[in-house]
Amino acid sequence: VIDERTIEVWSLDLESPPAPFAEVLTEAERAQAARFHFEHLRRHYTVARGALRLLLGRYLSADPALIALRTGPKGKPFVDAPLSFNVSHSGDLALLAFTRGPELGIDVEQFRPMPDLLPVARRFFCAEETEELMALPPPARQRAFFACWTRKEAYIKATGNGLHTPLDQFRVTLRPGEAARFVHIANDDAGAWTLHDVVVPEGYAAAVAYRAGGGAREIAQRVFEGMPRVQ
């Protein structure tokens, strides 16, 4: 049971053996897994989707295989229950966030070499964010770029709009040592939203965003190890 003031963030190793996760997938999800050309992507999809079903099963006291996972107009998965969740994966790591109440979004990115970091920032980020990045020395710049990227993706995943919301329509903090927060959001109230960094292994950045709804919530981070027992 999650209380009203907590966001539970589970981290999951996508290289876990897939067999127990495959058991809880629907026929359609197995078919989806089979469509991946690369074997590791097939396994990663199976582990992430299976873990989502197992955790939803626990939160909803339901049979994981029978949970009706629905998809919003822009692709955001949801359930017909007072439980919000969102999933992100990059490299071998997946993060799954759950809360009762406000819509939330989570994003994780594994750092990769970005020789075109500044052109990408200029193309997608707002001008102030790009200026802040340009003022940083290169090692700090890479970290700040992925902090910025994941914080922005967390917002567009929380609203469910995805990239239909241009990333330059809102500004997040990105400088080292500065707390994660929204500086402004076009057509929305930045003060009504909360942003947190998620603790992840070296070489990754991750953030969770949600509509605050009466005050910021606690983030409880857990590691999904093996198969939690489902009643």
Ligand X SMILES: CC(C)(COP(=O)(O)OP(=O)(O)OC[C@H]1O[C@@H](n2cnc3c(N)ncnc32)[C@H](O)[C@@H]1OP(=O)(O)O)[C@@H](O)C(=O)NCCC(=O)NCCS
Whether the CB-CB separation of 195 and 182 falls below 8 Å is answered with: yes
Amino acid at 60: L
CB atoms within 10 A of CB 213: 15
User: The tokens of 188 are what?
Assistant: 């929305």
**What does the radius of gyration of the chain's CA atoms come to, in whole angstroms?**
18
Amino acid at 82: P
Amino acid at 131: E
Least CB distance from residue 231 to ligand X, whole Å?
A: 25
Distance of CA 46 to the CA centre of its chain: 17
Least CB distance from residue 29 to ligand X, whole Å?
A: 10
Q: Taking the alpha carbons of 41, 47, 49, 50 in that order, is the dihedral positive or negative?
A: positive
For binding to ligand X (CB under 6 A), which residues are involved? 48, 74-77, 86-89, 105, 107, 120, 149, 153, 156-157, 160, 162-163
Least CB distance from residue 146 to ligand X, whole Å?
A: 9
Least CB distance from residue 181 to ligand X, whole Å?
A: 20
Distance CA 190, CA 100 (A): 21
